[in-house]
Structure 1
Amino acid sequence: MSLECATESHLDSLSTIVQRSFHSHNEYFLKTFPDTPLMRKWFRNLFLDAIHDSEYQLLIVRDPSSSSSVLGIILLNRGSEDAAVFKRQPPTSDHDPERYHAMLESEKSNTTGQTVAPHFGIELLGVDDEAKGKGYGKMLLREACRIADEEGMEIFVTANVGARAFYEREGFVTEEAIVLEGEDGYGQVRMVYRGK
């Protein structure tokens, strides 16, 4: 497998990575981001924006035997509230508006209005269901931590409760637990990596 920066040649595969990574086991993502042609176009535009923005690192794991088969992704921003790529693309008519708004609200920094040290934010980390259990998520997260350590920066993430132990094994600590609005009461944790 190959770990690399995403390019425009990966956009077709990137347009379905959220669905392939979360829909089988995450009702919140399934309802918020249904797998429709309009949603695939939305994700394509979102990732295109991130690829061309120097405030982002869009890293992928892909099968080198295919020019575009993305099996895992991590989307890092440099901690700017304005950089939040999910906020840049207006939602489509296919989004669940209540869940989407709750997700955006949960991503707001605890430090809004405060002076904080430069940091990274993980906006998305996912691995294709068919590739889970092979260490690709760990590979992506460790690369993000390596980048942050090299730049002397912390990493913040808001992750689903089920991923908490995964992040803790890589040195993240929980700052806050969150329950998103919606009938399913989707739980998240806000975590931070402070470096090695």
Structure 2
Amino acid sequence: MSVTRSFTVAIDGPAASGKGTISKAVAAHFGFAHLDTGLLYRAVAAKVLAGKEPAQAARDLVPHDLEDDALRTSLVAQEASKVAVIPEVRAALLDFQRSFAARAGGAVLDGRDIGTVICPDAQVKLFVTASAEVRARRRFAELSGKGVQITLDEVLADVQARDARDMGRADAPLRAAVDAVTIDTTEMAIADAVAAAVAMIDAKRENLI
């Protein structure tokens, strides 16, 4: 079934849970547009680290800002978690995300509050998670592969600190939507997780025919 109207897949979860990989694979499988909403906050964080005020940085954001390779650094990631707790920043980015989700042809958005705040009416909501230890090992392998000098214990501490901020913030805390389906990738191969997500989306699309 081709999608000529909006069809939104909301995928939430903590850092290094696999939600980004699953989201990209799902978008490619169905030909949907994909938005890693975490990049919005990373782009704001990069501007803040360069000296800009957070809310103004969010208001000034343009799509080109999301293409900077520097957004993937650990420093920017930690700062992104900090600016994400600022209500004015979240409000400034809300319309950008909702507009993306409403596009014809289908859209996949991944982040931490997509199913709960950004797209509460999404046709499919997934919550991708894994243990903190497994997520830390994944992130450690990623960083080590890029030549970053860091220990596994330091990465685990960063993961746990970020989880605490994301889950404990007053505005749009990280949590699964009540109607989201949870995919735990702690002991699941990524191919199996993608297959599970694709099956859920296929079932939903069939019901809409």
Give TM-score scaled by structure 1 length.
Answer: 0.32
Structure number with greater Rg is 2
Structure with bigger RCO (C-alpha 8 Å, 6+ apart): 2
Q: Which structure has more helix as a fraction of its residues?
A: 2
Give TM-score scaled by structure 2 length.
Answer: 0.30
